[in-house]
Amino acid sequence: MKNLNIINLTKGETFLHQLSGTTKVRLFAVLMVYVTMSFDLPIILPLFIVTIVGLVSLKPSWKVIKPVVIFVVAMNIVNIVLFWLANPHCGFEYTGDKTVLFAFTDYLVVTKGTFWYLTVRLLKMLTSFTTSLVFIMSITPSELAAGLTSLGLPYKLGSIVELAFRYIPDISRDYENISISMQCRGLELDAKKIKPIERLKQMIIILIPLIVTSFDRVGNISNAMDLRGFGKGKQRSYYSEYPERRNDTIFKVIYCLIALFCVYYIVSGLISPRDPKMWIYWS
Amino acid sequence: MKKESIGKILLGKWDTKTIVGVAIGIALFAVLMVYGSIKVFTNTNLSLAMIVPVIVGGLFGPLPAALVCGLGNVLADLIGGWGLWFDWSIGNAALGFIVGCLKLYGADIEDGVFDIKHMVIYAVLAVLGNILAFGVITPIFTKILFGGELNITIAQGWFAAVSNATVLIIAGIPILKALAARNARGKNLTKE
């Protein structure tokens, strides 16, 4: 629960923090396309390294990050194993390789193609995670809204995302408080001691007060916003947004180049489909 | 009470209150999606988050509910760290729209109207919505956005549909009933 502290509400000191919201949101959007578009190691690995460097440069508090990273890595590995159990030949479509490296039974075999595919898939998931982590840790809710508006979205949508982002830490704190006070009254929440259906029932007991307190806020917040004249104009400006600085210009060039590369890669893949579908080290 | 037209109910009223309500809904959805769930299958959880769009739908209408489901899923993907999967977010948005239709068939959480009839319609809609969202819409978008991998998506889709329908019915009905009872006013009065 505590790891939702990764959302910060004030601007930090480091290089990435100091970029404008527009730059961050646009760079992130381009990078998401970049990660999603392919399963090629030469495309994914450099971004992975760059985001790790970016993460270190943010000088995060490692105590907060460590549990998140452990949780995500463990979850992704479990997912990969389940993928393999569901279909031991799932890599065939991508690599076109069925060389058996190791066989448990007739069904459960490890093929070279599947092994390579799942390894790259794991790296792809982790890259997507580090990219989102760097993005979330470097941005504040207000900058996020400013950035989304700069993409041409209506500012009311930007405000929705901003408010949601702002209230995630509050709601998770409420959740924790309610859960602790319910446990004081004798509610058993330990996953090892009770069955999933029992657990579902007890989650409902926590959920009702959480929903009531959360939606009670709506009146207060919307009145406060109405009093400040929210939604009266067609456009709005943002306090956190300022004219482009030197670093923003440099990043503008970078994300434009990456976007061009993405367009080239996707279009060329559509015109002449690659065979095999991903980059393989042995061919 | 004035009867509103169906189109107006479907779109919802986009004033400040709705915007804040949707935002709080998204935050609640994301928190529950990441931390209030029980694992079932790869990338699929028995998640209580699915209750949130129903309540938002009951308070503000189907389109806000769809927005809560879709954007909430994107935000949960961001903080949860399993990568962005827009095909699932779109499927979720469709489901949110369908289960958010409470006002269309007369249930009104704000005024405490939620009877047996509404429960039955709600349960049927929950099942149909899940089949449509994860059996049809999500695989289509997976094909468009990522191509291939359909077997796993369909398997995940069925797990998601079953677990969501379970949560929506087993947990949703008691919660809606409790909330309706909390908001009930003037229910025992008859017009003379």
So what's the pLDDT on residue A9? 78
Q: Is the pLDDT of residue A212 over 80?
A: yes
Mutate to test the interface with A, among B16, B40, B166 (most CBs of A within 10 A): B16
Which residue among A1, A133, A217 sits closest to B81, beta carbon to beta carbon? Answer: A133
Binned at pLDDT 50, 70 and 90, residue A1 comes out as: very low
The tens digit of pLDDT for each residue in A89-132 reads 777 777 777 777 777 777 788 888 888 888 888 898 888 888 88
CA distance B31 to chain A (A): 6
Distance CA A111, CA A91 (A): 8
Q: Is the pLDDT of residue A231 over 50?
A: yes
Yes or no, beta carbons of A168 and B41 under 8 Å apart: no
Asked whether the CA dihedral A194, A176, B53, B87 is positive or negative, the reply is: negative
In a domain, B1, yes or no: no
Q: Where are the beta strands (DSSP E) in chain B?
A: 37-41, 44-47
Binned at pLDDT 50, 70 and 90, residue B96 comes out as: confident
Residue located via tokens 């009531």: A212
Q: Which two tokens stand for residue A245?
A: 């600085």
Query: Residue B34's CB: how many other CB atoms inside 10 A?
Result: 25
Q: In sequence order, which residues have a C-beta less than 8 Å from that of residue A135 and are 6 or more positions away? A: A24, A28, B78
State the burial class of residue A115 (Cβ atoms within 10 Å of its Cβ: 0-12, 13-18, 19+): middle
Asked whether the CA dihedral B141, B146, B151, B154 is positive or negative, the reply is: negative
Yes or no, beta carbons of A203 and B81 under 8 Å apart: no
Instruction: Report how many domains make up chain B.
Output: 1
Q: Is A212 on the interface with B (CB under 8 A)?
A: yes
So what's the pLDDT on residue B80? 67
Tell which wins on pLDDT, A249 or B114: A249
In a domain, B142, yes or no: yes
SS3 B43: coil
In a domain, B191, yes or no: no
Q: Is A79 on the interface with B (CB under 8 A)?
A: yes
Mean pLDDT for the stretch of residues B38-52: 67
In a domain, B192, yes or no: no
Q: Comparing B48-52, B61-65, B110-114, which segment has the lowest mean pLDDT?
A: B110-114
Binned at pLDDT 50, 70 and 90, residue B155 comes out as: confident
Domain that holds residue B74: 6-185
The tens digit of pLDDT for each residue in B70-79 reads 888 888 877 7
Binding-face residues of B in 116-155 toward A, CB within 8 A? 145-146, 148-149, 151-152, 155
SS3 B40: strand
Chain B residues touching A210 at Cβ < 8 A: 28
In a domain, B127, yes or no: yes
Q: Is the pLDDT of residue A275 over 80?
A: no
In a domain, B61, yes or no: yes
Residue of B nearest to A122 (CA): B82
For the full predicted model, state whether its pTM sits above 0.90: no
Burial A168-188 (b: 16+ CB within 10 A, else e): bbbbbebbeebbeebeeeeee
User: Tell me, what DSSP letter sits at residue B161?
Assistant: H
CA torsion, ordered A61, A65, A67, A71, to nearest 10 deg: 180
Q: Where are the beta strands (DSSP E) in A152-242?
A: none
CA distance A164 to chain B (A): 4
Of B35, B29, B167, the C-alpha closest to A214 is B29
Q: List phi, psi (to 5°) of B28.
A: -65, -45
**DSSP track, A113-166:** HHHHHHHHHHHHHHHHHHHHHHHHHH--HHHHHHHHHHTT--HHHHHHHHHHHH
CA gyration radius, chain B: 17
The CATH code of the domain that includes B143 is 1.10.1760.20
Distance CA A35, CA A40 (A): 10
Q: What does the longest C-alpha to C-alpha distance in chain B come to?
A: 65
